[in-house]
Amino acid sequence: MMDDFEKSPDPDGLLPRWPEATKSAEFQNGAIQFERHDWTLFRTVATLSQKAGVPQKRLRRLVLKELVDNALDAGAGFVGVGPLDHKDRYFVQDDGHGLDGSPQEIARLFS
């Protein structure tokens, strides 16, 4: 039984198989390439951290910075940031004109 397993890394036949013509040299010379779309990096905190270029523990800080930058870029004269409660939640407040649209349209922007 062990001999069969050692001969086949997929004894149940469940793993996808490359066509027999695929040779390791094709991987080495770049004939076969793997591509990952950028949007897939936004699906998890770990890969979002990679896309943002900061460690996971600094993502919250980066988000707050981006919100402040956006408010200032939009012409706000005042921007305040502070803790919302003791659960690591924060608020960003500014005196800018806000977003145009109904509450439903604004919710759609963030969904």
Summarize pLDDT for 83-92 with one digit per residue, the tens. Answer: 998 778 899 9
Total domains present in the chain? 1
Evaluate whether 44 touches 38 at the Cβ level (below 8 Å).
Answer: no
Summarize pLDDT for 26-69 with one digit per residue, the tens. Answer: 666 666 666 778 778 778 888 888 888 889 889 889 999 999 99
Predicted pLDDT at 24: 62
Give the domain range for residue 11.
2-109
Which of helix, strand or coil describes residue 83? strand
Predicted pLDDT at 10: 60
Predicted pLDDT at 88: 82
Q: Tokens 């094709």 sit at which residue?
A: 26
Does pLDDT of 5 surpass 50? no
Q: Locate 22 and state its tokens.
A: 């695929």
How crowded is residue 94: how many other Cβ atoms within 10 Å of its Cβ? Answer: 19
Does pLDDT of 94 surpass 60? yes
Predicted pLDDT at 86: 77
Evaluate whether 36 touches 42 at the Cβ level (below 8 Å).
Answer: no
Alpha-carbon distances of 96 from 3, 26, 74, 88, 99, rounded to whole Å: 71, 56, 7, 25, 9
More confident residue, 6 or 58: 58
